[in-house]
Structure 1
Amino acid sequence: MSELLAVGISHKTAPVELRERLALTDARALEFVRDLHAVAGIQEVVALSTCNRTELYLVAADPIDAEATLLGLLAKRSGIALSALAQAIYSHRNCEAARHLYRVSAGLESMIVGEDQIQGQVRRAYEVALEQQTTGALTNHLFKAALETGKRVRTETAISAGQMSLPSVAAMLGREVLGDLRGRRAVLIGTGESSELAAQALAAAGVAVVFVANRRRNRAVSLANRFDGHSVAFDELPEALVEADMVVSATSSPHQLIEAEGLELVQRERAHRRLLAIDLAVPRDVDPACAQVEGVALYDIDDLESVVARNRQVRLEEARKAEAIVEQEIQNFATWLGSLEVLPTLAALRSHASAIAAQVLAENEGRWESASERDRERVEAISRAIVNRLLHHPTLRLKELRDDRVHARMALVRDLFALEVDADPALRNAAADVQDLAEIRRLPERSGASAGSRR
């Protein structure tokens, strides 16, 4: 019987130093998903990797073996000892795995509760898996339902109202460190969603923005025009930093873009004037040693959490409403998941009982040599009646199960009677729940949310 497994690491369980070693760039995510999908016993794989989390959602015949395989691959690729990795990893199965993804999509697991970016990131992770053909009926149903849950939370509650995003914290932190931001100059490295949101917040505070791009130069020019700033090539970054009051970096580069030695040269030319550096990237764009350069105040994504905590204004009532919506949707998922298991388990149980009855009759065949054919038919009918009456009440009770314990109860029944159940046909027949890429992209999105960028 295949099971759903979610294994991950997040800002709640590990510092950025560990998360950046497990972060999956788009290219690495594609490779990792393909490698996992090729492992015997793993039927479905979706990878979700953002600044604050790296999570893998699997459907596997043996979840224990699948988790061990996954942890081994993560340890090998990241160079992290398996013992250290195990301490930071969380693992959920079946409805608990679904509940976690629903909470992630709803923004309840984010550093900034209710933030909007995660919805687009979940959508993009699913789209990539669809494109790679590593999803199946279970993950298709799971991710579609998670996206709908996130939409419900943002539509039916005010959990996102007035909430900040991590990029918008840049302006808040700028005011704390530099004071009045009017007339200040900020260099933004990267042209993704995070850079765009940071530029929006800084420009609104009166900051002149300069976009630096290594590859997407046209995008940098477009953003610069939008925010009345200008753009420069990546080679001109040192000159741009000389004139800047702050730098915000948010790229998906696997390598550090600002190193301590280079920044020391910049600071000498600036006479060590105050420079605020905000690194929103995972892996980090700015060498942590830059914090030791005179005049530099460096904040990475984990440092921002304390800033967020000082300014968080999430209303508890709205968070409670969001939690209630998640639980409603989880009950629906549990019912669906249970329906895939109840009927095959009941069929296997009935077949098992009938086989035992037939075996007992066969073992006693020699004890009624004088019995007529009619007598034999009566004995067989009695044996079938005993099986039917014995299983009647359990069958009714199992069919009525509707809570998130269905999977555990079905597993217990299979274990007690040593039943071999293949639920794959039920999963394959759940055609109504399989969503293709075009349908997922048609799912309504909250205005202003992006589905494309990791950051």
Structure 2
Amino acid sequence: MSELLALGASHKTAPLAVRERLALLDGQVEPFLSELVAHPGITEAVAVSTCNRTELYVVGEDPEPAVASMLAARAGGELADALYTARNCDAARHLYRVVSGLDSMVVGEAEIQGQVKRAYERALAAHTTGPMTNKLFRAALATGKRVRTETTISVGQASVASVAVESARALVGDLASRHVLIVGAGENAEQVARAFHFHGVTTMFVANRRRDRAIALAQRFGGASGSFDALPEELVRADVVVSSTASPHAIIGPEELAAVMAERDGRPLLLVDLAVPRDIDPGCSAVSGVTLLDMDALQAQVRGNLSVRREEARRAEAIVEDEIQSFAGWLGRLEVLPTLSALRSLGDSIVDGLLAENSGRWESLSERDAERVEAMTRAAVNRLLHEPTARVRSLDAADRHARLSLLRELFGLEEAAAADADEAAEVRRLHG
């Protein structure tokens, strides 16, 4: 029987060095998903890859070995201590918590909902979704929206970018008089620029490979823009550097940074690396006068975040559990009719087998008596199956999937048929 599996690694289970090897960058997601569903038995797959997590949501028959093997190959080694798994309703619950910001490094962060939405749309574009993942991701995104509507969990410093800027303020003091260099022009970079602007930063330089994006971001927050070619000169001027690109390799190394520091007359430099894989070589932390914060360092800065938001987090958890009951009911309905049909087919096959085995033993049995024997045998099997059938139909949504799995295991039932078309989630792109 196919199952829903969530398997991945996050800031809670894996250090940055592992997470950056697992990260799926732009252009890598679709081929990876296509390779996943090419495995026998795997029919659906969605990949969620952010700076703090890489998670795969797949549907198939015993898909864990294939999925774990692909991630281990990507990481270049054993991942047993870093990976976590969840199945069926537990997998849905995990995704609901992720989308709601409850599993984030910064509890309540708002960016994760958009990241999951884009991950789902990439899977749609790769044609690797199906009835279960379509239902799962649409329901998860709706749950995240409900959490942010009905709680204040995302109010305040609820993003990695805002924590990064607060950490910079704690280390260098008043930011308004500082020259800030932002490398990259994506979503994280925009959040960083907004946070610096809020703190009064007016001397801001944005560097990006695509000049048009750098210009647009700089203009929004009163800064200047330029290309990567201007990086050495801007590093000499900067007090704080925040880097967040999608580069697969480090763009600032210790040798070139040492040359930059030699031109700074002893002025210290704070580097904040929000990229996964990292933009700034870890060896830069050994350069005299340099302070380097990466995602693992920022995680240590926000360990108290959950306690600040504990009450709102409790309310959000209650919403997640409420929504999970609906998914559990849907998942159970997906399996009830095919399971009962398989159970009835098993009963019929047992009767047919018994009649065939004994057909030559009734020397004087009339045709009418043979019909009576068959009717009596089928009635006995139907009575035996009546109570299990009635109980399965009346199962609570929360228990239904587990009980059906046990029933299939006990009776050795074959895989249930696919869900009816009207039960399958509609496949279309998200908007808005």
> What TM-score does the superposition give when structure 2 sets the normalisation length?
0.96
Other-structure match for 1:69: 66
Note the residue ranges of structure 2 that are not aligned, 5 or more in a row: none
Other-structure match for 1:247: 241
Asked if 1:78 corresponds to 2:70, the answer is: no
Which of 318, 325, 328 is the equivalent residue of 1:331? 325
Which letter maps to 2:68? L
Aligned partner of residue 44 in structure 1, secondary structure: strand
**Separation in structure 2 between the aligned mates of residue 224 and residue 32 of structure 1, nearest angstrom:** 34
**Separation in structure 2 between the aligned mates of residue 278 and residue 285 of structure 1, nearest angstrom:** 10
Checking the alignment, whether the CA contact within 8 Å between 1:173 and 1:307 is kept in structure 2 is yes
Which of 210, 228, 231 is the equivalent residue of 1:237? 231
**Separation in structure 2 between the aligned mates of residue 431 and residue 331 of structure 1, nearest angstrom:** 17
Which letter maps to 2:331? L
**Separation in structure 1 between the aligned mates of residue 306 and residue 192 of structure 2, nearest angstrom:** 18
Other-structure match for 1:35: 35
Deviates more, 1:398-407 or 1:224-233: 398-407
Asked if 1:47 corresponds to 2:57, the answer is: no
Checking the alignment, whether the CA contact within 8 Å between 2:181 and 2:235 is kept in structure 1 is yes
Deviation at 1:35, TM superposition (A): 1.1
Which letter maps to 2:102? L
Deviation at 1:317, TM superposition (A): 2.3
**Separation in structure 2 between the aligned mates of residue 246 and residue 167 of structure 1, nearest angstrom:** 14
Which letter maps to 1:172? E
**Separation in structure 2 between the aligned mates of residue 215 and residue 11 of structure 1, nearest angstrom:** 28
**Separation in structure 2 between the aligned mates of residue 5 and residue 46 of structure 1, nearest angstrom:** 11
Asked if 1:271 corresponds to 2:242, the answer is: no
Deviation at 1:313, TM superposition (A): 5.9
Deviation at 1:371, TM superposition (A): 3.0
**Separation in structure 2 between the aligned mates of residue 358 and residue 172 of structure 1, nearest angstrom:** 74
Deviation at 1:330, TM superposition (A): 1.1
Deviation at 1:316, TM superposition (A): 2.2
Other-structure match for 1:392: 386
**Separation in structure 1 between the aligned mates of residue 203 and residue 426 of structure 2, nearest angstrom:** 45
Other-structure match for 2:274: 280
Asked if 1:132 corresponds to 2:126, the answer is: yes
**Separation in structure 1 between the aligned mates of residue 15 and residue 87 of structure 2, nearest angstrom:** 24
**Separation in structure 2 between the aligned mates of residue 419 and residue 311 of structure 1, nearest angstrom:** 48
**Separation in structure 2 between the aligned mates of residue 159 and residue 73 of structure 1, nearest angstrom:** 35
Other-structure match for 1:14: 14
Distance of aligned partners of 1:432 and 1:7 in 2 relative to their CA distance in 1, 3 Å threshold = closer
Deviates more, 1:361-370 or 1:289-298: 361-370
Which letter maps to 2:192? A
Deviates more, 1:69-78 or 1:247-256: 69-78
Checking the alignment, whether the CA contact within 8 Å between 1:136 and 1:434 is kept in structure 2 is no
Alignment of 1:284-363 (within 5 A): 284-310=278-304, 314-363=308-357
Asked if 1:434 corresponds to 2:426, the answer is: yes
**Separation in structure 2 between the aligned mates of residue 91 and residue 309 of structure 1, nearest angstrom:** 24
Checking the alignment, whether the CA contact within 8 Å between 1:209 and 1:224 is kept in structure 2 is no
Aligned partner of residue 247 in structure 1, secondary structure: strand
Note the residue ranges of structure 1 that are not aligned, 5 or more in a row: 443-455
Aligned partner of residue 7 in structure 1, secondary structure: strand
Asked if 1:177 corresponds to 2:171, the answer is: yes
4+ runs of 1 displaced by more than 6 Å?
Answer: none
Which of 343, 352, 364 is the equivalent residue of 2:358? 364
Q: Deviations over 1:121-143 (max 9, x none)?
A: 00000000001111111100010
Higher RCO structure, 1 or 2 (CA under 8 Å, sep 6+) = 1
Which letter maps to 2:336? V
Checking the alignment, whether the CA contact within 8 Å between 2:110 and 2:158 is kept in structure 1 is no
Deviation at 1:396, TM superposition (A): 1.0
Aligned partner of residue 113 in structure 2, secondary structure: helix
**Separation in structure 2 between the aligned mates of residue 332 and residue 393 of structure 1, nearest angstrom:** 26
Aligned partner of residue 145 in structure 1, secondary structure: helix
Aligned partner of residue 40 in structure 2, secondary structure: coil
Asked if 1:101 corresponds to 2:101, the answer is: no
Distance of aligned partners of 1:251 and 1:209 in 2 relative to their CA distance in 1, 3 Å threshold = farther
Deviation at 1:278, TM superposition (A): 0.4
Checking the alignment, whether the CA contact within 8 Å between 1:137 and 1:430 is kept in structure 2 is no
**Separation in structure 1 between the aligned mates of residue 17 and residue 24 of structure 2, nearest angstrom:** 14
Q: Deviations over 1:170-210 (max 9, x none)?
A: 32112211112221110000001111111111112122343
Asked if 1:162 corresponds to 2:156, the answer is: yes
**Separation in structure 1 between the aligned mates of residue 64 and residue 265 of structure 2, nearest angstrom:** 53
Deviates more, 1:378-387 or 1:114-123: 378-387
Aligned partner of residue 302 in structure 2, secondary structure: helix
Deviation at 1:421, TM superposition (A): 2.6
Which letter maps to 1:78? A
Identical pairs, percent: 58
Aligned partner of residue 164 in structure 2, secondary structure: helix
Which letter maps to 1:46? V
Q: Deviations over 1:378-417 (max 9, x none)?
A: 2222112212211111101111223333223222212211
Deviation at 1:310, TM superposition (A): 4.7
Distance of aligned partners of 1:108 and 1:312 in 2 relative to their CA distance in 1, 3 Å threshold = closer
Alignment of 1:201-240 (within 5 A): 201-240=195-234
Which of 389, 398, 404 is the equivalent residue of 2:398? 404
**Separation in structure 2 between the aligned mates of residue 207 and residue 7 of structure 1, nearest angstrom:** 41
**Separation in structure 2 between the aligned mates of residue 319 and residue 391 of structure 1, nearest angstrom:** 45
Checking the alignment, whether the CA contact within 8 Å between 2:335 and 2:416 is kept in structure 1 is no
Number of aligned pairs? 432
Checking the alignment, whether the CA contact within 8 Å between 1:211 and 1:224 is kept in structure 2 is yes
Which letter maps to 1:398? V
Q: Deviations over 1:220-255 (max 9, x none)?
A: 111111111101211111101111110000111101
Aligned partner of residue 328 in structure 1, secondary structure: helix
